[in-house]
């Protein structure tokens, strides 16, 4: 039996939704592939065709979320008219809004990924790539429109914003204020700060300073390392020479 | 460059307690030096100290924004007990507003109505046209084509009120009139918690609108279908804000006309409704060309007990007649107690402190038309000096809560009259 591309996508997202539910209910460790398959109403074997492991499910869901966020932003009336501050702000708010029904699930993602020693950040690489694409686009547009100056080390900015967003999500997961009002204020006020940083090009200047310090001071240290290694090299030479002889 | 704002309560209170420690340290060093100073240089030193304390205090406050700002605004209006430099700093901090960006506006609408603003109104201006207490006001147009004013509350402001107030309490303990200020903070806290509930404001607006019988006053209609706890929508009234109106150089007759309406509103609502629109901020009045006055923002409405409404004119009357024992008697009945004075001391107390205050207070009630124009009287400036003296009274144990709002509204109006350079007929309206 041939399955169309569309049906495949539908099954995939059905499995992801079921996974998010089961993992949120039972926790990542206790959730079983079998139960997820049953919840998604697919065969026990079928689920492995789509996701070979539980980890792949967890991170597949996060990747899917980034596609949804991008879609929501594209559909937002007048989003292109927003200032860069408003766009960056809206990006985070959209992440929060879409994650809201899956808050427990996101908690599991954090526990599995960031808090346990076995965690591997590699798993989130695709999610991060999708997120960074959105940030890059926002920053590129703002530079093109002349809203912020050209940013040296621009490739650094999206990863930094990813780290910031991760921190916001972690804060949100522990926010017990009514309607997560504390997170709302934190985001509002910190995005303002981030925009100022972008407008003044502080990151580029900091990076220039760092690279200056690195070049002048680290290289000097490296030179002096050379001095320390000389006696050792001499000893080694003597050792080797004695063996030869 | 704007500083980031600490949001956790821990961070907020740490910030504030840092300020308290600094202020406390300054105070202690002042006390330690005092015995060796002449009384004159002691006063100078005290002013300098107040100045420094004020700066430390408000550096902390300005980092907190939100409620702290609102608090600053309220204290700067009614607290004649605060030293002058502190009040200056407070007044300065009142002018800052935090604008809401589009993402937050959207979020607020989605939270409250589950729909974005452009889905609710045919037109919605994302740029606010006025700052309101704890929020901002936007222009909008309903599907029926009606011009609306939509007030949005800054998200999360309601939950920071309590922690900010706690911080304020710690700070205020350093000032000379800690007890009085603390009790007025309790009152303010209650009022603030009411003010963040826009349902209550909607009720107040409708109640005022139906109860008040004053022809030249216009009150907006609440649109309940576009209102919630954090958003309130009303019809938009025509008229100019005071500064705008004054900049067009209105005639003396026009100035007197509007000032009189404001004063009549005060007397009428206090006597007739036992309540006051207790936020005499010039932004809450709209001056229209047809001579009517628009009254907006019913977030702060204070209801008074029948006793207070009945006793207040008697107290004013006692002041007019310069009857010392009657003045003290009515203060006692109103809940302000001056303890531990025998008859002779009472008379001295009255002569030294209350009589100058009473003479100042009753001046406008005796004058026929009282002229508030600065060049003629500088009435409020005189008042501030008298209040400064009053604030040295150490013997008053309690201050009646109702006084705070009555005074704040009346003296707030006086300040407005001064800016309008108006003449107002206030004679005998209070007397029985």
User: Tens digit of pLDDT for each residue in A90-102?
Assistant: 999 999 999 998 8
**Interacting residues of A6 by C-beta distance below 8 A, sequence separation 6+:** none
Distance in Å from the first CA to the final CA of chain A: 76
The B residues from 137 to 176 touching A (CB cutoff 8 Å) are 155-156, 158-160
CA angle at B84 for the pair B82 and B88, rounded to the nearest 5° = 100
Half-sphere exposure of A21 (CA within 13 A, CB side): 12
Does residue A19 register a pLDDT over 70?
Answer: yes
Interstrand relation of B147-153 and B130-132 (parallel, antiparallel or unpaired):
unpaired
The B residues from 56 to 75 touching A (CB cutoff 8 Å) are none
Tell me if chain B has a CB within 8 Å of the CB of A178.
yes
Please give the Cα distance from B6 to B18 (Å, whole number): 14
The A residues from 56 to 85 touching B (CB cutoff 8 Å) are 77, 82-83, 85
Tell me if chain A has a CB within 8 Å of the CB of B5.
yes
Residue A38's pLDDT band, with cuts at 50, 70 and 90, is very high
Does residue A228 register a pLDDT over 50?
Answer: yes
- Token pair listed for A146: 């002349």
Tell me if chain A has a CB within 8 Å of the CB of B116.
yes
User: Which strand (E) or helix (H) includes residue B144?
Assistant: none
Name the nearest CA neighbour of A199 among A134, A147, A132, A144.
A147
Judging contacts by C-beta atoms under 8 Å, the chain A residues touching residue B108 are: none
CB B107 within 8 A of CB B155: yes
Judging contacts by C-beta atoms under 8 Å, the chain B residues touching residue A181 are: 155-156, 158-159
CA-CA-CA-CA torsion sign (B152, B157, B158, B161): negative
b/e map of B310-336 (b: 16 or more CB within 10 Å)? ebbbbbbbbbbeeebeebbebbeebbb
Please give the Cα distance from B134 to B97 (Å, whole number): 9
The predicted structure's pLDDT at residue A230: 62
The predicted structure's pLDDT at residue B334: 81
Using alpha carbons, list the distances in angstroms from residue B215 to A70, B201, B212: 55, 22, 9
**Which of A180, A188, A199 is the best residue to mutate to test the B interface, defined by the most B CB atoms within 10 Å of its own CB?**
A188
The predicted structure's pLDDT at residue B115: 92
CB B279 within 8 A of CB B297: yes
Q: Measured between CB atoms, which of A90, A178, A189 is closest to B103? A: A90
Q: Provide the shortest C-alpha distance from residue A116 to chain B (in Å).
A: 26
Q: Provide the shortest C-alpha distance from residue A217 to chain B (in Å).
A: 31
**In chain A, % of residues over pLDDT 90:** 31
**Which of B62, B102, B117 is the best residue to mutate to test the A interface, defined by the most A CB atoms within 10 Å of its own CB?**
B102
CB atoms within 10 A of CB A111: 15
Tell me if chain A has a CB within 8 Å of the CB of B106.
yes
Does residue A150 register a pLDDT over 60?
Answer: yes
Distance of CA B93 to the CA centre of its chain: 14
Longest distance between any two alpha carbons in chain A, whole Å: 83
Tell me if chain A has a CB within 8 Å of the CB of B48.
no
Judging contacts by C-beta atoms under 8 Å, the chain B residues touching residue A101 are: none
| Closest-approach residue (CA) in chain A for B99 | A188
Judging contacts by C-beta atoms under 8 Å, the chain A residues touching residue B4 are: 189-190, 193
Tell me if chain B has a CB within 8 Å of the CB of A188.
yes
Least confident range from A7-11, A220-224, B80-84, B294-298: namely B80-84
Please give the Cα distance from B403 to B312 (Å, whole number): 9
The predicted structure's pLDDT at residue A177: 84
Which residues share a beta bridge with B425?
Answer: B369
CB atoms within 10 A of CB A225: 9
Contact A184 B107 (CB under 8 A): yes
Judging contacts by C-beta atoms under 8 Å, the chain B residues touching residue A200 are: 1
Tell me if chain A has a CB within 8 Å of the CB of B114.
no
ipTM rounded to 2 decimals: 0.70
The whole model's pTM is what? Answer: 0.70
Tell me if chain A has a CB within 8 Å of the CB of B107.
yes
Contact A188 B4 (CB under 8 A): no
Judging contacts by C-beta atoms under 8 Å, the chain B residues touching residue A182 are: 7-8, 156, 159
Q: Measured between CB atoms, which of B1, B3, B104 is closest to A188? A: B104
The predicted structure's pLDDT at residue B347: 80
**In chain A, % of residues over pLDDT 70:** 85
Judging contacts by C-beta atoms under 8 Å, the chain B residues touching residue A170 are: none
Size of interface A-B (CB pairs under 8 A): 60
The predicted structure's pLDDT at residue A182: 86
Tell me if chain B has a CB within 8 Å of the CB of A176.
no
The predicted structure's pLDDT at residue B252: 92
What string of pLDDT tens digits covers the 432 residues of chain B?
334 444 454 444 444 444 444 444 444 444 334 444 444 454 555 555 555 655 655 555 544 445 555 555 555 555 454 555 555 555 554 444 557 889 999 999 999 999 999 999 999 998 888 777 677 889 999 999 999 999 998 887 777 777 777 777 777 776 666 666 677 677 777 777 888 889 999 999 999 999 988 878 999 999 999 999 999 999 999 998 888 898 899 999 999 999 999 999 999 899 889 999 887 778 889 999 999 999 998 888 888 999 889 888 888 888 888 888 888 888 888 877 666 667 777 788 788 888 888 888 888 888 778 888 765 557 777 777 777 677 666 555 556 677 777 887 888 888 888 888 888 888 766 655
Contact B156 A189 (CB under 8 A): no
Output phi, psi for B233, to 5 deg. Answer: -115, 130
Please give the Cα distance from B151 to B284 (Å, whole number): 13
| Closest-approach residue (CA) in chain B for A178 | B159
Highest mean pLDDT among A200-209, A219-228, B54-63: A200-209
The predicted structure's pLDDT at residue A115: 67
Output phi, psi for B113, to 5 deg. Answer: -120, -5
CB A115 within 8 A of CB A34: no
Residue with more model confidence, B89 or A82: A82
**Interacting residues of B215 by C-beta distance below 8 A, sequence separation 6+:** none
CA angle at B197 for the pair B194 and B198, rounded to the nearest 5° = 120
| Closest-approach residue (CA) in chain A for B110 | A97
Contact B7 A186 (CB under 8 A): yes
Q: Measured between CB atoms, which of B2, B103, B159 is closest to A196? A: B2
CA angle at A159 for the pair A154 and A165, rounded to the nearest 5° = 125
Judging contacts by C-beta atoms under 8 Å, the chain A residues touching residue B3 are: 193
Q: Provide the shortest C-alpha distance from residue A114 to chain B (in Å).
A: 23
The predicted structure's pLDDT at residue B114: 92
Tell me if chain A has a CB within 8 Å of the CB of B101.
yes
Q: Provide the shortest C-alpha distance from residue B155 to chain A (in Å).
A: 6
Query: What torsion do the CA atoms of B79, B80, B82, B86 make, to the nearest 10 degrees?
Result: 90
Tell me if chain B has a CB within 8 Å of the CB of A185.
yes
Please give the Cα distance from B417 to B412 (Å, whole number): 9
b/e map of B116-153 (b: 16 or more CB within 10 Å)? bbeebbeebebebebebbbbbbbbbebeeeeebbbbbb
User: Which strand (E) or helix (H) includes residue B342?
Assistant: none
């Amino acid at each position: 039996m041939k399955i169309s591309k569309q049906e495949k996508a539908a099954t995939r997202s059905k499995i992801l939704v079921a996974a998010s539910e089961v993992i949120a209910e039972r926790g990542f460790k206790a959730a079983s592939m079998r139960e997820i398959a049953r919840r998604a109403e697919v065969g026990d074997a079928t689920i492995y065709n789509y996701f070979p492991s539980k980890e792949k499910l967890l991170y597949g869901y996060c990747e899917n979320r980034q596609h949804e966020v991008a879609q929501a932003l594209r559909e937002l009336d007048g989003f292109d008219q927003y200032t860069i501050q408003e766009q960056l702000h809206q990006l985070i708010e959209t992440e929060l809004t879409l994650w809201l029904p899956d808050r427990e699930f996101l908690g599991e993602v954090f526990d599995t990924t960031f808090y346990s020693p076995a965690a591997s950040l590699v798993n989130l690489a695709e999610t991060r790539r999708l997120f960074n694409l959105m940030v890059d686009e926002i920053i590129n547009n703002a530079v093109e429109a002349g809203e912020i100056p050209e940013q040296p080390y621009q490739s650094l900015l999206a990863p930094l914003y990813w780290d910031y967003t991760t921190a916001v999500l972690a804060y949100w997961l522990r926010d017990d204020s009514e309607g997560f009002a504390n997170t709302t204020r934190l985001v509002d006020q910190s995005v303002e700060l981030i925009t100022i940083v972008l407008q003044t090009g502080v990151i580029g200047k900091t990076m220039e300073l760092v690279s200056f310090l690195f070049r002048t001071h680290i290289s000097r240290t490296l030179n002096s390392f050379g001095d320390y290694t000389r006696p050792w090299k001499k000893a080694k030479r003597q050792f080797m020479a004695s063996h030869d002889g | 460059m704007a500083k980031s704002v600490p949001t956790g309560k821990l961070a907020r209170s740490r910030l504030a307690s840092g300020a308290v420690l600094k202020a406390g340290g300054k105070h202690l060093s002042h006390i330690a030096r005092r015995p060796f100073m002449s009384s004159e240089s002691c006063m100078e030193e005290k002013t300098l100290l107040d100045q420094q304390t004020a700066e430390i205090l408000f550096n902390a406050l300005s980092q907190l924004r939100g409620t702290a700002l609102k608090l600053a605004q309220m204290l700067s209006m009614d607290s004649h007990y605060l030293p002058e430099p502190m009040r200056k700093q407070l007044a300065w901090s009142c002018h800052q507003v935090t604008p809401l960006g589009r993402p937050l506006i959207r979020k607020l609408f989605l939270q409250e109505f589950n729909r974005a603003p452009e889905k609710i109104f045919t037109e919605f201006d994302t740029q606010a046209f006025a700052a309101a207490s704890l929020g901002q006001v936007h222009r909008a147009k309903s599907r029926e084509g009606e011009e609306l004013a939509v007030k949005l509350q800054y998200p999360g402001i309601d939950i920071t009120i309590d922690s900010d107030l706690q911080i304020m309490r710690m700070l205020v303990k350093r000032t000379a009139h800690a007890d009085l200020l603390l009790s007025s903070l309790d009152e303010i806290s209650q009022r603030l918690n009411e003010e963040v509930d826009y349902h209550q404001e909607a009720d107040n607006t409708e109640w005022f609108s139906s109860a008040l019988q004053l022809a030249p006053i216009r009150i907006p209609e609440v649109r309940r279908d576009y209102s919630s706890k954090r958003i309130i929508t009303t019809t938009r009234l025509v008229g100019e804000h005071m500064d705008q109106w004054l900049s067009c150089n209105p005639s003396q007759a026009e100035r007197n006309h509007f000032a009189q309406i404001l004063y009549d509103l005060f007397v009428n609502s206090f006597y007739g409704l036992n309540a006051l629109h207790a936020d005499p901020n010039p932004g809450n009045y709209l001056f229209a060309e047809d001579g009517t006055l628009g009254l907006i923002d019913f977030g702060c409405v204070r209801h008074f007990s029948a006793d207070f409404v009945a006793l207040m004119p008697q107290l004013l009357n006692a002041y007019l007649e310069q009857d010392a024992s009657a003045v003290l008697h009515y203060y006692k009945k109103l809940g302000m107690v001056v303890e531990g004075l025998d008859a002779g001391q009472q008379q001295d107390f009255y002569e030294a402190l209350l009589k100058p205050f009473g003479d100042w207070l009753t001046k406008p009630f005796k004058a026929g038309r009282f002229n508030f124009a600065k060049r003629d009287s500088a009435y409020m400036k005189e008042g501030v000096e008298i209040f400064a003296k009053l604030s040295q009274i150490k013997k008053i144990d309690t201050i009646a809560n109702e006084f705070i709002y009555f005074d704040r509204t009346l003296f707030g109006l006086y300040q407005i009259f001064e800016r309008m350079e108006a003449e107002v007929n206030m004679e005998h309206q209070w007397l029985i």
